[in-house]
Structure 1
Amino acid sequence: MIDTLAQALPHFRNTNSGQFFLMAGPCVIEGEDMALRIAEQVRQLTDRLQIPYIFKGSYRKANRSRLDSFTGIGDETALKILQKVGREIGVPTVTDIHESSEAALAAEYVDVLQIPAFLCRQTELLVAAAETGKVVNIKKGQFLSGEAMGFAVDKVQQSGNPHVILTDRGNSFGYTDLVVDFLNIPAMQRFGVPVVMDVTHSLQQPNQSSGVTGGKPDMIQTIASAAIAAGADGLFIETHPTPATAKSDGANMLQLDRLEKLLERLTRIREAVR
């Protein structure tokens, strides 16, 4: 699938024609049935709306506040589920990696390797991801400007891999909030790569005293709408059938049955601005 995705990547850029693309799925792979159910439902919806779709799911969560937080069902088990989703549902898949040693392993199972925001400056990690030949999605650090992400792009491209996506997920605003600067979208598009708005993570409320990240899911429509109006090439939305029971990031995820109405609205916005 990687050859098809890599060839399609330039077309994901906003050229005032065509549709935005979507990365969506659960925060973390919790099990095979749930992953397939989400992927199938979103695939049917995006096919109808002609939205290119990449299934998202973390095979392991390394950045957790508390030692007792859920981190995954096992690396190989989760990666095989991601591979099965890609094969059976017929969509590209993306997962995040946290150390350079993980790049080659994850690349055997998924199409896109994602670099978490806190790790976007880690040279060895970026180079290892680049060397797999997979598409590399780099999340902008909460502590960086859009302009500063050019160095991350350079690390991947100068390592011989032209297939880069940049994703904004907001900037730290005090200790327990994030704020989205939509000027980062055109700033990062100047590097000639597709730019995505991570809607749900930008609505997190980190560093809570409970050790569990909070969120403002009621603002998902607002952030997503503004991102499309600002010209984002794609959106990143974590979704779950029942966010209240999700094992990770449930506080800021979109309930799966609300995705259809949101995407219909966003396609109308995209049509209006192009």
Structure 2
Amino acid sequence: MLILLPPSEGKASAGDGPKLDLSALSLAEVTEARETVLDALERVCSGPVETAREVLGLSARQTDAVERDLQVRIAPTLRAADLYTGVLFDHLRLPELLAGGAAARARESVLIFSGLWGAVGVADPLPPYRLSMGVKLPPLGALGAFWRSRLTDALAARAEGRLIVDCRSAAYAAAFVPTGAAAERAVAVRVLRETTSGGVTKRSVVSHMAKATRGAIAHTLLAEGVEAATPRELADALNDLGHTAELSAPARGKRPATLDVVVRE
């Protein structure tokens, strides 16, 4: 399997590893594109702070993120597994997986998408930074479109013959859209909250719960060594492991299947 994850806005503030080495990151095919985005980010952050905040979508309280982005090349790094600290990663518990018997699976099976790096592996050494995939970064434009043109071939090769388990949010999903045979082996994970009131059952999407549940599901797949080859096998495996997973066929055959994971209250 290949598990695709978004990053988190929450990140560790400092590392203790060597400074950034772009050649040490996964997907070496996009090293040049990473350099291009980093150059553009540095130009924006070297200008007026107010302009940089506007481009990056930062509030006045987040001005320190502009300075952090200017230090990306020289700041100490830490593993991607330790850098990302949001809700999804709290439930994914990557450091625990990398310290145990699932380490090889996590290294081989997980890619974390990033506005700055495109996509990285869990052990890649990264400095703290701030750049969302939803940013339109001068002069490159929308980063989702920029990365899609650079990542598609590399990720199609990485995903060949493997089930793609897509846990990304919409902004990061724009950076790689499985097509052809890859789309047939892909499944997008959606989380629904089910509530019952007055005998009426309703289902809804809740963002915070979705992040936590996607992280927990990814942890389960890696920790248990699940080797599903099709969306149906994935749904069956998750149900066997105590989750409620329902598979929906792709609309008109044009999109990956959707796997609804139901959380009942």
Which of structures 1 and 2 has the larger relative contact order (alpha carbons within 8 angstroms, sep 6+)? 2
